Structure 1
Amino acid sequence: MSKAGIVAALAAAALALAACGSTETPDTGGGGGSAGAARTLTLWHYEGANSAMGVAWAEAIKQFEASHPNVTVKFEEKGFEQIQKTASMVLGSDQAPDIMEYNKGNATAGLLSKQGLLTDLSEETAKRGWDKLLSPSLQTTARYDDRGIMGSGKWFGIPNYAEYVMVYYNKDAFEKQGIAVPTTFEEFTAALDTFVKAGITPISVGGAEYPAQQIMYQLALSKAQRPWVDAFQLYKGKVDFHGPEWTYGATTFADWVKKGYIAKDSAGIKAEDMGLAFMSGKFPIMISGSWWYGRVATESKGFKWGSFLWPGNQMSAGSSGNLWVVPEKSKNKDLAYDFIDITMKKDIQNKLGNAGGVPVAADPTSITDEKNKELIENFNKLSTQDGLAFYPDWPAPGYYDVMVAGVQELINGGKTPAQVLDELAQPYNDNLADIGG
């Protein structure tokens, strides 16, 4: 598509989203729970209804409406890609929602904060004690400086859950091939070889969206240390895209395609289809985030399943969850703050944990499901060992699409790993120059 065509398509998408915005006049007289004119809180998020976050937030909406009798929550479920591509245009209009879930990181929440499209939540965070509920590693993605770089500065978002990338596996398929849960990278690749020899493509992959790039990043992280992550994500040092980390990640990813670990037609597969294929038993492995956990638990039929941390890595893609952000043009900021507050309360956090999420402020003794306990324990292990490495598309605006295109070329064999790494380096270095690096 031409550049003009892309702009036209995005503008059309923005108008479609804008048609759904709140049109309520703000009530400036007191809190949302007081008697007064009817009001509407327009809320956007992109979590499935039976995901852990969807379940917990549905309960939060009920509690919010019960405690704010004059307020109706107008919830609108959006697609991740839909919000990712149109947020700047929609939030710059007068049709912005009052509160929305948005992706964290320099390229997303950081960019919107720099553009003046998000409300500074610093005062509200201190007043309501949200900062006390979030560990320093989880606060990293909530705060952005004047350049839009995460880790310091003002609070522009509040996460109420955490997440990380892991390996989901079909226990029945593993048992059938005599494969034990791998504890080292060598055991992991041996397991993949066993499936290939049995005529089975082992990994369900979505190359058209985020999942494939996260696999490449996991491979790069197997050769990385914290200073490399801080250089790449926080601009605290020079990044060599032809250094050992990215070179190993891209080269090994391409090799995995050649070896049959990853299907050659997966470049066109979306994340949703990747998940459905795993949950229907078509693939024995899915490498993706904890955000799938609740759905895998409820939608996987006909086989036993489990999960484990990527074998051998000190670090994994992961961070706080996505953020509650309040658009600068929100017409009901007071109500948005109240809703965020409810999602941080213990009972909602407990519900999120029991639904298969990773809560940030739950009572550990309230998590009853053994699988869910394992999910949270694995996250705590990563967090304790300083193992949260954020996500590969975060550092620069537009980097998500660059990453998707890069791994698609590796899957298709259209470009060499070195050529793909050149394509990853260019926009990163351009952004570094733009922010004065």
Structure 2
Amino acid sequence: MRISTRRWAAVGTAALLAPLALAACSSSGGDSGGGDGDADTKTLTIWHYENDESAMGQAWAKAIEIFEEENPDVTVEVEKQTFEQIQKNAKIVLTGDDVPDVMEYNKGNATAGQLASQGLLTPLTDAAKEKGWDTALSGSIATTAQYDEDGLMGSGEWYGVPNYGEFVGVYLNKDMFAQYGIEVPTTFDDFEAALATFKENGVTPLAEAGAEYPLGQLWYELVLHYGDRALVDDYQLFANDVDWHGEAMTQATEKLDEWVKNGYIASDSAGLTAEDMGVSFIDGTYPIMVSGSWWFGRLQSEIQFDWAQTLFPENTLHPGSSGNLWVVPTNADSKSLAEEFIDITLRPEVQDVLGQAGGLPVAGDPSTITDPKTAELTQNFADILGDDGLAYYPDWPVAGFYDVIVSQLQSLVNQSKSPDEVLTGLEDAYVSGKQDLLGE
């Protein structure tokens, strides 16, 4: 196996202006294309951007080891990119011939969906059926793998395969809960009672950050608390128009406003970053942090107190999604080998490496994980998958919506806008962005 780190040079004007002639090359029937899928049966080139020490890096190394054992005549070449390199340059680079056979890529309408709609990715629908990916990765975990002819996720051909996941939950400082005689909440009422008790004792309960994603994810947890899967499908997949002033959106936004007024969220949090929030939870300033599984490794290594990670009380839907996708470029030389490698990454022995290292396997067994906190996190994710409970992220539906959510919710924390005004601001941006995306 050859491993290299590749830096993409600036792309010349001619390449930038080259037409995307491949847009018409995508097979509509899910065929891998290229005859048997392999113009080169002696080399498998893999691009990914995971550190060797990360859970994903360790799992992919195990998958490569298995692939090499089963294909001793094939040379595996691993080229390390960065997330930013692939994100910025994939559209241009994949129009050429010097492409990987399999590549890690970001999911969503504006990323994998865009490349798929332009004919730059190989449809994997036949492989998904043949190898059982469509049953192993069903429901909400498979949504980010499928894209229609316009590049909208959730239906159409399989263009990628996720191997791990992520979700938003609740991190608790159990020492602070014990200090004030508060039980770890298992219901939403208990959660609100805990917030009130902390505040009565002079402790602001929620670590928050209004200048970046965390506050939007807390708001979305509340939307999901009052909403249902139909609302998620309307909001994320455009199944129907969203009622922005309906019961779920209104209750969620009013509840967040109530928590701000009650002092459960610090008044200065509108200007704080996610890093500020995380550090304040790690140093014991706040007893509760609602945020993503991506914090787990850092909390595990830095926290000095007794802590736990739970799901948002009584929610059956949670912010989260699959992780990044394995995709096969249309111009890849070794498509069948790429599909074989992808299949290996879903095997139990690879998924278990992912889980043991603190990742979130999509096809693993939580009972094999020995570290109690890692097992707790993995079981929480398994419970979400068991309930088909991934609801993606609030900023996903339309371009630029992230900044709008941040701005509108900052206004709520600053009390410069009412919940109704915030919802109107969100609605205006969402509807406009949806019209642009769908060409309406």
The 1:430–1:31 alpha-carbon spacing in structure 2 relative to 1, beyond 3 Å, is farther
Counterpart in the other structure of 2:15: none
Contact 1:41/1:335 (<8 A) preserved? no
How far the C-alpha of 1:127 sits from its partner, in A, is 4.8
| Letter in structure 1 aligned against 2:152 | I
1: CA distance between counterparts of 2:269 and 2:66?
Answer: 42
CA distance in 2, matches of 1:413, 1:64: 57
Spell out, residue by residue over 1:195-247, the C-alpha distance to the aligned partner (whole angstroms, 9 max, x if none). 23333332222333322211001111121122222222222222111112122
SS of the equivalent of 1:222 reads: helix
Q: Alignment partner for residue 409 of structure 1, among 395, 408, 411? A: 411
Looking at structure 2, the residues matched to 276 and 101 of structure 1 have their Cα atoms a distance apart, in angstroms, of 30
Q: What residue in structure 2 maps to residue 5 of structure 1?
A: none
Conservation of the 8 A alpha-carbon contact between 1:49 and 1:55:
yes
Structure 2: runs of 5 or more not aligned? 1-5, 12-37
Aligned residue for 2:168, secondary structure, equals strand
Q: How does 1:370-385 map to 2 (within 5 A)?
A: 370-385=372-387
1:30 partner letter: T
Q: 1:226 aligns with which of 229, 235, 251?
A: 229
Q: Is the 8 A contact 1:91 1:327 kept in 2?
A: no
Alpha-carbon distance in structure 2 between the residues aligned to 1:314 and 1:343 = 28
CA 1:426–1:409: 2 relative to 1, 3 Å: same
Task: Kindly provide the amino acid, as one letter, of the partner of residue 9 in structure 2.
Answer: A
CA contact (8 A) 2:384 2:390 kept: yes
Amino acid at match of 1:400: Y
Alignment of 1:256 onto 2:259 = yes
Structure whose alpha-carbon radius of gyration is higher: 2
Cα distance between partner residues in 2 of 1:254 and 1:62 = 52
1: distance between equivalents of 2:151 and 2:426? 20
Q: What is the distance in 2 between the residues matched to 1:195 and 1:324?
A: 45
In structure 1, the gaps of 5 or more residues are: 1-15, 22-26, 34-39
Aligned to 1:430: 432
1:91 matched to which residue of 2? 90
Deviation at 1:250, TM superposition (A): 2.3
Q: Percent identity?
A: 48
Of residues 159-168 and 98-107 in structure 1, the stretch that sits farther from structure 2 once superposed is: 98-107
Are the structure 2 counterparts of residues 90 and 407 from structure 1 closer, same or farther at C-alpha, using a change threshold of 3 Å? Answer: farther
Secondary structure, in 3 states, of the residue corresponding to 2:49? strand
Secondary structure in structure 2 of the residue aligned to 1:93: helix
Q: CA deviation at 1:103?
A: 4.1
Residues 366 and 378 of structure 2 are in contact (CA less than 8 Å); yes or no, is this contact kept in structure 1? no
Q: 1:313 to 1:31 in 2, by over 3 A?
A: same
Choose which of 393, 396, 400 in structure 2 pairs with 1:394: 396
RMSD: 3.3
1:313 correspondence with 2:303: no
CA contact (8 A) 1:166 1:309 kept: yes
Residues 401/54 of structure 1: CA separation in 2 closer, same or farther (3 Å cut): farther
Superposition deviation, residue 351 in structure 1: 1.3
Note if 1:75 corresponds to 2:86: no
Counterpart in the other structure of 1:29: 40
Contact kept in structure 1, 2:46 and 2:103, CA below 8 Å: no
SS of structure 2 residue aligned to 1:358: coil
> After the TM superposition, which residues 251-290 of structure 1 pair with which residues of structure 2 at under 5 Å, given as runs?
251-290=254-293
Q: Check if 1:143 corresponds to 2:138.
A: no
Contact conserved, 2:49 with 2:81, CA < 8 A, in 1?
Answer: yes
Q: 2:9 aligns with which of 8, 15, 19?
A: 19
Which one-letter code corresponds to 2:49 in the other structure?
Answer: W
Q: 1:295-306 residue pairs with structure 2 within 5 A? A: 295-297=298-300, 299-306=301-308
CA distance in 1, matches of 2:90, 2:429: 24
C-alpha distance in structure 2 between counterparts of 1:428 and 1:414, whole Å? 21
SS of 1:426's partner is helix
What is the CA–CA distance in structure 2 between the aligned matches of 1:120 and 1:329, rounded to whole Å? Answer: 12
* 1:174 alignment counterpart: 177
Corresponding residue number in structure 2 for 1:358: 360
Asked whether the equivalents of residues 348 and 365 of structure 2 are also in contact (C-alpha less than 8 Å), the reply is yes
**CA contact 1:168–1:307 (8 Å) conserved in 2:** yes
CA distance in 1, matches of 2:291, 2:425: 24
> Contact 2:141/2:385 (CA < 8 Å) preserved in 1?
no
The amino acid across from 2:408 in the alignment is G
Normalising by structure 1, what TM-score? 0.79
Structure 1 residue 154: deviation in Å? 0.8
